[in-house]
A and B are shown apart, each in its own frame.
Chain A
Amino acid sequence: MPPDHLSATFAALADPTRRAILARLIAGEASVTDLAEPFKMSLPAVSKHLKVLERAGLIARGREAQWRPCRLAARPLKDVAEWVEHYRRFWEARLDRLEIYLRELRSKEKKHGRQ
């Protein structure tokens, strides 16, 4: 089972507006006002989305400036990628077992002469 922070990451990503915000941040850091602009959303509504992203560690907010610029943070995305990799290994092992089972089945069939 993945640790809880993964569910926070997925929950944060499972929203088109928040993904669009992240996509916007690829271009570089931005203020809440910049981010609100393309969405025709109120600043408090955007702030709410930013809080979810910040809690999930997907963005970091500057303390240095009055406008607290938002920027992307890499770590949670890497964690998700590692988690998916874990599933890949899990499926490799599952297919190993399928292969062994198939071999057993076929040798039994041969013994019983119904090839």
Chain B
Amino acid sequence: MAASNEKIPTAKTPAGWEFTITRVFDAPRALVFEMWTKPEHLVRWWGPTGITMPVCEVDFRVGGALRFVFRGPDGKEHRAEGIYREIVVPERIVFISTLHFVPGDEVRTTVTFTEHDGKTTLTLHRIHSVESDATKGEPAGWSQVLDKLAAALANR
């Protein structure tokens, strides 16, 4: 089997409030993009191995909701929810997910797709709490403040 996947080193901010993963897939961009848009595809790879997704609802439009329920082998269920903020077919998807156990925290995930020679480079970026009510309108997102904090603490 041809090596179709090159792992590019992952970039991280020093504090780790966000991360970026870059992957190259041996498939055209339209196809890789489609994998993110339909439940029939998402159920095949979104959940961890051994975990089923009894609920996989995707309203793939800006403002539309993502709703997933994962069921583990022990029958325990775990919910995940989000809202699409930006969709540019077949280039870019931005969604916000809320973590119900962390009040005020939101995670923004940006996925971008570029194609070169029939291969697709996917870049995934995730950052915490950029748009929660508490931080709306602040000139600098809290991750910058926290990065400074972490840097200060690391130097002790």
Contacts and interface: CB of A to CB of B under 8 A. Distances in A.
A101 B46 CA distance: 10
Contacts of B134: 14-16
B80 to A, nearest CB: 12
Interface residues of B, number: 49
Contacts of A10: 102-105, 129
A101 B12 CA distance: 27
B4 A103 contact: yes
Interface residues of A, number: 41
A88 to B, nearest CB: 4
A36 to B, nearest CB: 19
Contacts of A19: 142, 145-146
B68 to A, nearest CB: 12
Given A7-B102, A16-B138, A84 B17 contact: yes
Contacts of B101: 1-2, 7
B25 A7 contact: no
B113 to A, nearest CB: 12
- Chain A interface, DSSP helix/strand/loop, else mixed: helix
B23 interface: yes
Contacts of A100: 45
Interface string B31-50: 11001000001001110110
Best-buried of B1, B16, B26, B129 by chain A (most CB within 10 Å):
B16
A11 B29 CA distance: 39
A6 to B, nearest CB: 7
Contacts of A2: 101
A41 interface: no
B156 interface: yes
A86 B109 CA distance: 15
Given A1-B78, A88-B12, 4 more contacts: A19-B146, A88-B126, A97-B44, A101-B41
